[in-house]
Amino acid sequence: MSKEKDVHLIPFTVNAVYEQTSQIPDGVEMVGAPKMWLDDYQGKGIVVAILDTGCQKDHPDLKNRIIGGRNFTIDYNRDPNNFNDNNGHGTHVAGTIAGDGTGGGVLGVAPQAQLLICKVLDSKGSGSYDGIIQGIYHAIGWRGTNGERVRVINMSLGGAEGTDLLHKAIQDAVEAGISVICAAGNEGDDKEDTFEYAYPGAYNEVTEIGAVDLNGKLAYFSNNNTEVDCVGPGVDILSTWPGSRYAKLSGTSMATPHIAGCMALVIQKAEKEFARGISEAEAYAQLIKETVPLGYRKSSEGNGLVKLQHAAQLQKLILFVKENFA
């Protein structure tokens, strides 16, 4: 592994830490996940790989969701089997995707999804492109004991420049049918007419996520660029935190796992309805069908806020109007 530190956590803010909580976080509600749960879509059978700082393996709300993991950093004397989180960021991301509330804490967007933890960033939130690439290929090649494979990769990290090898790894993941969900970055200057790019988020092949607050207002820190695909809640986001605790964080890093969780639900639903497996391109199309424009530039919000079941509710409304007022 290269010793050069090229990739880092996208800066985030820890707003508060709690010893305990018991609720469905506002961000999870905002993307419409509970409406999917009512139709029995909770991510069962979908594996999401998290490339981050690791994860607290025994967190009460996560321990039953982790299906495997590997360390690609110099932490823990390079022990490949120790993927525990010594930063906090990865544990928070994991809870937003798939916290199951077992510990009486929080529910993530896809509380029955399974998590493959790839620790590619160290305790300070730094890593190398080599480590990220290794993590991507591990996710591509990983198979569970029952034949499970990764369907979604979440990367809430970035560097100022990409590399050909990183881009190739992203392309190989997409070719393997994996949806790659990446944070847009927090270098935004609160001006929609200036662009900021971070990689791998800025690669066209990934689904790049910007952030809005819980009222749907574009977050001042969210990067604007030509590759933004959609936005998710990323301000004051409650999720799991090391020490079996909970915390509220802000950043596009927090918006990204909301959409990764949504993608897990979308894949589960689409494959049941089509009665077959779907491709990465089909999964992306199904996700975008669930977006709602917020009135910002495409370079700020992409297709809009992901709001699950919005399309189905709109269709029901149209049918109601036709049947009663035609």
Of the residues 222, 239, 244, 253, which is catalytic?
253
In this structure, is residue 2 part of a structural domain?
Answer: no
| pLDDT at site 256 | 98
In this structure, is residue 206 part of a structural domain?
Answer: yes
In this structure, is residue 207 part of a structural domain?
Answer: yes
| pLDDT at site 318 | 60
In this structure, is residue 126 part of a structural domain?
Answer: yes
Residue with the bigger pLDDT between 316 and 43: it is 43
Using one digit for the tens of pLDDT, what is the confidence trace for 44-83?
Answer: 999 999 999 999 999 999 999 999 999 999 999 999 999 9
| pLDDT at site 314 | 62
**What is the chain's mean pLDDT, rounded?**
93
Of the residues 61, 75, 89, 126, which is catalytic?
89
Residue with the bigger pLDDT between 177 and 326: it is 177
Q: Is the pLDDT of residue 288 over 50?
A: yes
Per-residue b/e over 200-209, b at no fewer than 16 CB within 10 Å? bbbbebbbbb
Q: Residue 53: how many CB atoms within 10 A of its CB? A: 32
- Structural domains in the chain (count): 1
- Phi-psi sector, 66: left (phi>0), alpha (psi -120 to 50), beta: beta
Active site residue 250: no
Distance of alpha carbon 224 from the chain centroid: 18
In this structure, is residue 213 part of a structural domain?
Answer: yes
In this structure, is residue 83 part of a structural domain?
Answer: yes
User: How far is the C-alpha of 186 from the C-alpha of 136, rounded, in Å?
Assistant: 23
Active site residue 126: no
- Determine contact, residues 97/261, Cβ cutoff 8 Å: yes
Q: What are phi and psi of 314, to 5 degrees?
A: -65, -40
Record the pTM. Answer: 0.94
| pLDDT at site 1 | 36
Active site residue 40: no
Of the residues 6, 52, 85, 122, which is catalytic?
52
Using one digit for the tens of pLDDT, what is the confidence trace for 208-256?
Answer: 999 999 999 999 999 999 999 999 999 999 999 999 999 999 999 999 9
In this structure, is residue 1 part of a structural domain?
Answer: no
Using one digit for the tens of pLDDT, what is the confidence trace for 87-123?
Answer: 999 999 999 999 999 988 999 999 999 999 999 999 9
Q: Is the pLDDT of residue 129 over 80?
A: yes
**Nearest by Cα to 256 from 196, 215, 210, 214:** 210
Q: Give the structural domain span for 167.
A: 7-325
Find the CATH number of the domain harbouring 58.
3.40.50.200
